[in-house]
């Protein structure tokens, strides 16, 4: 069975019907199985298995803005009464991250994590893409239980932080 992205090599100079997603060369170099969405060449999908769960990372390419947004939709939506507490937790988590960030849609409770890769004239460096994916997986995976507990109204923001304190008193 072939991989979803396996394609025959095109001869040099051959024209393609749609532009190649900028993540494709890096994903191939890193030997990551991916899917370019049919009819939506600006979307690429990567399934990742992490320590605490499995996630789908979507790469959304915007030619106009010259960037790719790596996006993960959290598997649990926030219940309405817990949205303010969830937002407080997400803001706390965002403060600790070197890049990317959690967002909460107050209209439906959907939680997403977004990280942006800015595009220049050169193709994306596979090592930069690997580091960006590692950050996305780390952030989403390590916050999963905390976010779920607050999003479902099982704990408050303060209770989650109190449980997560490290030996030096920080969290």
- E strand spans, the chain: 35-36, 43-49, 54-62, 67-73, 101-104, 111-118
Domains of the chain: 24-163 (3.30.1460.70)
Residue-wise pLDDT for 9-49, tens only, equals 344 444 445 558 999 999 999 999 999 988 898 999 999 98
pLDDT at 170: 58
Give CA–CA dist 61/41, Å, rounded: 8
135 and 100 Cβ atoms separated by less than 8 Å: yes
pTM: 0.80
132: closest CA among 59, 51, 53? 59
């Amino acid at each position: 069975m072939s991989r979803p992205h396996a394609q025959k090599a095109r001869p040099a100079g051959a024209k393609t019907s749609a532009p190649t997603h900028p993540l494709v060369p890096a994903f191939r170099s890193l030997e990551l199985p991916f899917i370019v969405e049919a009819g939506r060449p600006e979307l690429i999908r990567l399934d990742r298995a992490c320590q605490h769960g499995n996630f789908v990372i979507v790469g959304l390419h915007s030619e106009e803005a010259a960037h790719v947004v790596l996006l993960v939709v959290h598997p649990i939506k926030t219940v309405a009464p817990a949205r303010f507490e969830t937002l407080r937790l997400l803001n706390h988590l965002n403060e600790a991250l070197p890049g990317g960030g959690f967002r909460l849609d107050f209209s439906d409770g959907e939680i997403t994590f977004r990280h942006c890769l800015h595009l220049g004239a050169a193709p994306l460096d596979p090592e930069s893409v690997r580091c960006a994916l590692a950050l996305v997986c780390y952030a989403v995976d390590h916050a999963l239980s905390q976010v779920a507990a607050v999003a479902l109204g099982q704990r408050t923001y303060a209770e989650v932080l109190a449980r997560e304190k490290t030996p030096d008193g920080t969290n």
